[in-house]
Structure 1
Amino acid sequence: MEQPLIRISVRRLVEFILQSGDIDNRMAGADKDAMLLGGKIHRKIQRQMGADYHAEVALKHVIGCRGFDLQIEGRADGIIDTPEGTVVDEIKGVFKELHLLAEPVEVHLAQAKCYAFMYAEQNGLDRIGVQMTYCNMETEELKRFQSVYGAKELKDWFFEVAGKYEKWARYEITWKEKRNASIKGVEFPFAYRDGQKDLVSSVYRTILRKKKLFIQAPTGVGKTMASVFPAVKAVGEGLGEKIFYLTAKTITRTVAQQAFETLKEQALRFKVITLTAKEKICFCEEANCNPDYCPYAKGHYDRVNDAVYELITTSDDMSREVIEEQARRWNVCPFEMGLDVSLWVDGVICDYNYVFDPNAHLKRFFGDGMSGEYLFLIDEAHNLVERGREMYSAALYKEDFLEIRRLVKQEDPKLAGRLDECNKQMLALKRECETYQVLDSVSHIYLKLMNLMAELERYLEECTEEEKRKKVLDLYFDVRMFLGIYDRLDENYLIYSELEDSGRFKVRLFCVNPAANLKEFLEKGNSAIFFSATLLPMHYYKELLSTEKDDYAIYALSPFEEEHRLLLLGTDVSTKYTRRSEDMYRRYAEYLKQVAETKKGNYIAFFPSYQFMEQVYVQFLSLTEDCGDIEYVMQSQYMSEEAREIFLENFEEEREKSLMGFCVMGGIFSEGIDLVEDKLIGAAIIGTGLPQVCRERELLKTYFDGKGYRGFDYAYLYPGMNKVLQSAGRVIRTDEDRGVILLLDERFGDVRYREIFPREWKTVWYCSLRNVKEQMHRFWEPEG
């Protein structure tokens, strides 16, 4: 019988087994060889090496273990035929000055030695050369370290490293057997709601065919379980190895955790971790990851593998509390340990940026050359458009170069000189720019930034003043991000300069359509399911989240009876800037007063901005000061997590009066909150949610007009209506819920807005201040 096969890349093997020492964020460029910039240098060096140099040679070696085979694989950068014999070449791009490099980095040399063993073994060689080629990214100067190894010496070393991995591979095999056996007995945990079974089937079929699926599913369909359940079943049948459940907000992560816990009630063995942000899980007052400040950073890599192995072999519970307890016991960083644990679990619940952000993604899964049988479940997928734009855009400010130049001028003239060169480039652009300017290229700035990176890296390694170092490090990361994004520039980008109202001058690489960048990471897995209650219009989201033309899409029908919802459209109010006045604010306040008076209950009014909300709030207070039947609570601009919880607790309390919540559309209370039954019986949506006119919105409008799309819709209408639909979705959450939704802006009557209404909004009643109370009375009357 064929044995099960465990595969691991050479790079992951050596980094995993040979990691040691401290976590130290003072080493700014510790991960520089993995930067996007390195690929070009690799290819350039490979092309220059002549006919005897064979680039990107695929190699693998299979070790037979008891009960399974371990396959170690990768690509050697180069195999060179020389008169003296064969040499394996490993290329690394660095910003460090090469004279400071006395010997190869241990894990770099280990990679090369693995390839040397594999090549020697395959070709029956007694001896083989190893060459480490370091290339300075700025000057393209090369430094090589060469050595020769006997085949037996390499074999002994290789088997010692691989032997340390055997217990991990054995754990993986035995765990998967237990997990898959348990999945066979798992059934859908609830009675199927209308349309839910079709959703489950569609998700499973999409995974089976390795495709992408877009799901527009109204609140109440049960999207989370309808995607988690078939994905778990697919893992059990070998159609995927790991589920990534991706969210934009903390609150939706809780819903995903609950879905997995519900399935575990059927004896499912499935390890799931929710990744918590470093700032939240850090044991120290400040997340300063260096061994002089943090005791958990000191020697972390010497202990973390043992901590992880003990945890995964003794528990299925990977909750935050368990991770923290284990990290304290082993004296390691809880954040970094959590990332290491994610390698060994079956499901990872995390923010989008762990997968898609080129600066923050999990390099263990999505780094250069990494891929796997991943299944992506992308919750609240409408958020990914704006988040994607931000992740793949970058900006630099002229003033930042000047500030750091002043900071280092006396002690480091060389770095100050490089900063001055960049500042002069920016100054030349600033002189050409009155307010903003679309640019064809910034290649001249790119070259100066490459020169600057080497000096910044040198400075950061030498600097001992913590405050000064922090400021320089911030610029280092900004420049690194800019260089990384520069290498992505294509037709999906606009480059522009802008003189901001504050007087600061920036150059921005603006990703207008993130689909191609997202594709790069989605292709590292098998299948992706995008789902949301507000994925309308579907063509807009498909255009900006995927480059494929044959993606699947389904529109799930609402399971709730239409009679449970009253949808009113106010025709005598508007949030247009030209119509804003004290009288208009008072009209809105009057609407809210009438809503709260018609039936005692909890309501939320969603506003286009804090300023607009405060104006209406003042009018509302003056209208209701003499009537004691309405209580109110208002969202503030900077709320802590505790303050948010207190705000929501207001809607959980039993009360004798109506409660009116004042919130901002698109904010923390317009998505993801679940106030069921009579905890929320109405929402007033004040305005169409259109983003404020600004530079980037106008650039988006012009860009999409130029592509033949309706630019206004792409830049303003669709993002605005998404906020409206999200806010309205707070009202009807279960079969028992009844509620009113008021769309309070005359523009909602326009056909361009109406065509984005979801299918379940079939019946819309027009109203004004004169008759709104009467219409709501008729709706609530059956209840008495």
Structure 2
Amino acid sequence: MSNTVETIKISVRNLVEFIMRSGDLDNRTGGRKEAEAMQEGSRIHRKIQKQMGSNYTAEVPLSITLDISLEEISFQLVVEGRADGILKEESEIVIDEIKGMYIDLSYLEEPISVHRAQAMCYAYIYAQQNSLESIGICMTYCNLDTEEKKYFKETIVFTELSAWFEKLTGEYIKWAYWQIKWNHKRNDSIKELEFPFTYRDGQKKLVSDVYVTLLRSKRLFIEAPTGVGKTISTVFPAIKAMGEGLGQKLFYLTAKTITRTVAEETKQLLTEKGLLLKAVTITAKDKICIFDKADCNPVSCPRAKGHFDRVNDAVYDMLVSEDDISREKLLHYAEKHQVCPFEMSLDTTTWSDMIICDYNYVFDPNVYLKRFFQNDKKNDYIILIDEAHNLVDRAREMYSAQLYKEEFLQVKRLIKGKDKALEKALDTCNSDLLKLKRECDDLKEWENISDFVIHLMHLMSKYEDFLAEHKEFDGKEEVLLTYMNIRHFINIYDVYNEKYITYTDYNEQGDFRIKLLCLDPSDNLSVRLDKVRSAVFFSATFLPIRYYKEQLGGREEDYAVYAPSPFQMENRLVAVGMDVSTKYTRRNEKEYLKIIQYIKDFTDSRQGNYMVFFPSYQMLFQVEELSKGILDNVIVQGTSMTEEEKETFLNDFSLNPDISRIAFCVMGGVFSEGIDLKHDRLIGAVIVGAGLPMVSGEKELFRKYYQETKNSGFEYAYLYQGMNKVLQSAGRVIRTTEDKGAILLLEERFLDNRYQELFPREWFPYQVVKKDEIKEVMLKFWQSHGL
């Protein structure tokens, strides 16, 4: 073990919040999130600080270094932070801690313990460094809506303060010691780690490209066809970089549960090769909760009672006992210590080397892991983003916000007679929306809604007061949901810029809504990406790469690479049916019968499993009805399948099937992405149509915006999204280097240059066919492989 003295730094705030947290998990209050209070609070801080006079010094940096020796390890613990203010009075020095809050201060009878503890930490550091026998602390609370203030002052003798601080840091030292010891163990295992496979063509270069990206703190965009081994080719160099001090923590982000499993399996494979790495997967609260419904409060859940009193012990017990953190082990230790498994998993991320989770936990403004991304400073984090083409639409959705007029009326009905001030605030906002509704026949854009937003902010203040007084009442869930929607709307309005538009319209049920629509999410994504060392985006369908690079926050200096396909060209047949169209004007029985004949000739050429992908359920069902008596053994994707139904559906795709099976599926659906039917579990796919989204009012807003800004309205609003669905669907066919399969594209538009520019390299050369030619083409292909 190395004897070099290492340094662990922790902020005053993080130290006290970690060690001193206690009490229950409780979701029964809406409480505007602390991040918002911090954001608005910085303005209040400055205002209060300016009012304090010449004896007051604002924003004073304070730091203390403790020399620690435990067993064979010596290290320095640096506790640092910035005191809001130091007041030099005649009789004493006073440390001022300012907190902006949204709650009514009359409810506050004493300072909140973690806030007082922050002030005490600064007081100890200042008193110790200035040899003071005693020092004052003042908690200054300010209501962010009314600017009303409340003060809690006291004087503490240094001996008492010193004993308190020694106890506080002593609690943390065991965690710091464990962290250093584990990092040595982990890094030693990483040094010995070798790539677990023989490199495929181009794979070694891909691994090198990822490593160089991390070394240079850049962002990398990889288009890597199926079979390249994207997961191992990104995870392996990222872990090697961590071992060399180029990354403190690794985030592996996915859009779907199935790709999370691939990341877990890759990590497990490296574990079997000798890697020691603590990785935790964040499972959604409703999926990991021990009850049928997650309701996190001490009345509904026994584990919520005193959760924060026990959770640190639970996490520490697991960390020191287990080298590999699986979901089962997480559940075991959560049960052992009677804590919430979801909250425990979040706390485990603080000490994990690798975090596998949904995009939301890094990018979503409502649920992101604030412990890692809340501060302004840049961290040595590495982010790997799988199936990153999904992030464009997901990000647009995350950074958009909408409110329905009916929500305000529903809340008013539910709280009727309980709070006059809240009812009045709801009425005001409803009246605002009524005025907008009167001017909106179908869809209308708006330049200025500032009056409505001001009224929403006033409503939030009244909402806070109501929720502080009423913990339980009928309709609580609906009232809280609207509260969250309003808060999100205000938050999005705060980041609103020229890449947004505001519009009103009606949903299918005729409900009136107002929406802040994010047209380009790159600025919002960059806010998070700028806080990490490096990000690697990868997908099998990343065309055109400039579009994805632009939408996902790529910069001029960032890299984009294409990983060549490892498949032999002759193992894949790509054919384009030139005499088929799925344009709306051509959707009729005659065209559908032509499609059915294509499917029949394509699937009759060899016994096996096939998938046919349609642009919509409507077309799928129409073609299925017409195919009865023509096609045999057709199975159909349902509109809302359970997990068990999906599994049964895929299990029908067996190896060496005794009959041909044709599955009718939807492009962009659950079976068009992320499923892995290797070898002859799937030997052919028919793609019906170009996958273009339905024309809608919102899509037309995208088209208009990108026509004005990029002169590419159709491409940005429709073409790129449609072709991505096509490429993903086609990607189900050949999964390993031994696979052989055929892809039939039924749409004359695929011969248009705009579409062909989006074909991946490995699709060339392709064959152009007519309905009466496909049978012969298919027979020749299979015969060339002796099948």
Alignment TM class, shorter chain as reference: over 0.9
* Counterpart amino acid of residue 169 in structure 1: A
Q: Which residue matches 1:57?
A: 60
- Residue number in structure 1 paired with 2:11: 9
| 1:300-330 residue CA offsets vs partner (Å, 9 max, x unmatched) | 1111111111111011121111111111111
The Cα of 1:655 is off from its aligned counterpart by: 2.5
- 1:112/1:621 CA distance change after superposition, 3 Å: farther
Q: 1:751 to 1:317 in 2, by over 3 A?
A: same
Q: Which residue of 1 aligns with 2:520?
A: 513
- The one-letter code of the counterpart of 2:363 is F
Aligned residue runs from structure 1 range 380-391, under 5 A: 380-391=387-398
Q: Report the TM-score, using the length of structure 1 for normalisation.
A: 0.96
Q: Check whether the contact 1:34–1:368 (CA below 8 A) recurs between aligned residues.
A: no
Q: Distance in 1 between matches of 2:48 and 2:400?
A: 29
CA, structure 1 residues 597+345, in 2 after alignment: closer, same or farther (shift >3 Å)?
same
Compute the displacement of 1:162 (Å).
1.0
1:771 corresponds to which residue? 773
- What is the rounded CA distance, in whole Å, between the counterparts of 2:156 and 2:36 in structure 1? 27
Please tell me the residue identity of whatever aligns with 1:148: T
Give the residue type in structure 2 aligned to 1:676.
K
Mapping for residues 619-638 of structure 1, pairs under 5 Å: 619-624=626-631, 630-638=632-640
Q: Which residue of 84, 106, 111 maps to 2:113?
A: 106
Q: How far apart, in 2, do the equivalents of 1:711 and 1:45 lie?
A: 49
Q: In structure 2, list runs of 5 or more residues that go unmatched.
A: none
Does 1:141 pair with 2:148? yes
Q: Which residue of 1 aligns with 2:77?
A: 70
Map Cα deviations across residues 535-569 of structure 1 (whole Å, 9 max, x no partner).
11011011111152111111111111111111111
Paired AA for residue 182 in structure 1: S
- More deviation in 70-79 or 342-351? 70-79
Structure 2 match to 1:443: 450
1:616–1:45 distance in 2 versus 1, CA, 3 Å: farther
The worse-fitting range, judged by mean Cα deviation, of 136-145 and 39-48 is 39-48
Structure 2 residue corresponding to 1:452, chosen from 438, 459, 465: 459
The alignment partner of 2:451 has SS state of helix
Distance 1:323 1:187 in 2: 29
CA distance in 2, matches of 1:409, 1:52: 51
Match of 2:428 in 1: 421
Q: Distance in 2 between matches of 1:222 and 1:504?
A: 47
Match of 2:723 in 1: 721
The one-letter code of the counterpart of 2:153 is Q
Q: CA deviation at 1:773?
A: 0.8
Amino acid at match of 2:274: A
Q: 1:412 to 1:597 in 2, by over 3 A?
A: same
Q: In 2, are the aligned partners of 1:364 and 1:370 still within 8 Å (CA)?
A: no
- The answer as to whether partners of 2:609 and 2:657 remain within 8 angstroms in 1 is no
Q: Does the CA contact (< 8 Å) of 2:219 and 2:554 recur in 1? A: no
2 CA distance for matches of 1:584 and 1:53?
81
Q: How does 1:610-625 map to 2 (within 5 A)?
A: 610-624=617-631
SS of 1:134's partner is strand
How far is the alpha carbon of 1:582 from its aligned partner? 1.8
Structure-to-structure mapping, 1:261-300, within 5 angstroms: 261-300=268-307
Give the Cα–Cα distance (whole angstroms) in 2 for the partners of residues 177 and 104 of structure 1.
Answer: 41
Name the structure 1 match of 2:537.
530
Q: Secondary structure at the match of 1:311?
A: helix
Find the partner of 1:675 among 677, 681, 694.
677
Letter in 1 for 2:144: M
Query: Shift in Å at residue 532 of structure 1?
Result: 0.5
Structure 1 position 228 matched with structure 2 position 231: no
Change (3 A) 1:423 1:592: same
Q: Secondary structure at the match of 1:381?
A: coil
The separation in 2 between residues aligned to 1:37 and 1:227, in whole angstroms, is 39
**2:675 aligned with 1:690:** no
How far is the alpha carbon of 1:164 from its aligned partner? 0.5
Q: Please give the secondary structure, in 1, of the residue aligned with 2:504.
A: strand
Structure 1 residue 184 displacement after superposition: 0.7
Are the structure 2 counterparts of residues 534 and 48 from structure 1 closer, same or farther at C-alpha, using a change threshold of 3 Å? Answer: farther
Correspondence for 1:577:
584
SS at match of 2:350: helix
What letter is aligned with 1:616?
A: V
Instruction: Supply the distance in 1 between the matched residues of 2:463 and 2:284 (Cα, whole angstroms).
Output: 27
**Native 8 Å contact 1:463 1:469 kept in 2:** no
Amino acid of the residue matched to residue 196 of structure 1?
Answer: Q
Q: Report what 2:606 is aligned to.
A: 599
Question: Compared with structure 1, are the counterparts of its residues 542 and 334 closer, same or farther at alpha carbon in structure 2 (3 Å cutoff)?
Answer: same
Partner in structure 2 of residue 737 of structure 1: 739
Aligned residues of 1:78 and 1:89 also touching (Cα < 8 A): yes
Q: 8 Å contact 1:570–1:745 — kept in the other structure?
A: yes
Question: What pairs up with 1:476-555 in 2 under 5 angstroms?
Answer: 476-555=483-562
Aligned to 1:627: none
Distance in 2 between residues matched to 1:647 and 1:58, nearest whole Å: 61
**CA pair 224-200 structure 1, distance change in 2 beyond 3 A:** same
Q: Counterpart in 2 of 1:471?
A: 478
In the aligned structure 2, how far is the partner of 1:688 from the partner of 1:84?
A: 79
Matched, 1:87 2:89: no
Deviates more, 1:700-709 or 1:261-270: 700-709
Distance 1:596 1:575 in 2: 20
Relative distance call for 1:571 and 1:734 in structure 2 (3 A) is same
User: What is the deviation of 1:81?
Assistant: 4.4
- Equivalent residues of 1:422, 1:448 under 8 A apart: yes
Separation in structure 1 between the aligned mates of residue 35 and residue 541 of structure 2, nearest angstrom: 41
Looking at structure 1, the residues matched to 46 and 505 of structure 2 have their Cα atoms a distance apart, in angstroms, of: 35
| Runs of 4+ residues deviating >6 angstroms | none
Is the 8 Å Cα contact of residues 387 and 540 (structure 2) preserved in structure 1? yes
The separation in 2 between residues aligned to 1:742 and 1:191, in whole angstroms, is 33
Partner residue in 1 for 2:365: 358
Aligned: 1:372 with 2:379: yes
Partner of 2:34: 32
CA contact (8 A) 1:33 1:92 kept: no
The counterpart of 1:753, out of the listed 755, 764, 768, is: 755
Contact 1:32 1:93 in 2 (8 A): no
Instruction: Look up the match of 2:652.
Output: 650
Q: CA deviation at 1:476?
A: 1.0
SS in structure 2 at match of 1:89: strand
CA contact (8 A) 1:34 1:367 kept: no
Name the CA distance, whole Å, in 1 between partners of 2:144 and 2:697.
34
1:335 partnered with 2:337: no
Across the aligned residues of Structure 1 and Structure 2, the Cα RMSD in angstroms comes to 1.8
Instruction: Please state whether the residue corresponding to 1:467 is helix, strand or coil.
Output: coil
- 2:160 maps to which of 153, 157, 160: 153
CA distance in structure 2 between the partners assigned to 1:54 and 1:492 by the alignment = 40
Alpha-carbon offset, residue 571 of structure 1 = 1.3
Distance 1:672 1:501, change over 3 A: closer
8 Å CA contact retained: 1:460, 1:472: no
Maintained 8 Å contact 1:29/1:457? yes
Does 683-692 or 123-132 show the bigger shift? 123-132
Unaligned runs of 5+ in 1: 625-629
**SS of alignment partner, residue 121 of structure 1:** helix
1:276-323 deviation per Cα after TM superposition (whole angstroms, max 9, x unaligned)? 110001001110111111111111111111111111101112111111
Deviations 1:85-140 (A, max 9, x none): 54333332222112122222111221222223223334444443323232223223
SS in 1 for 2:734: coil
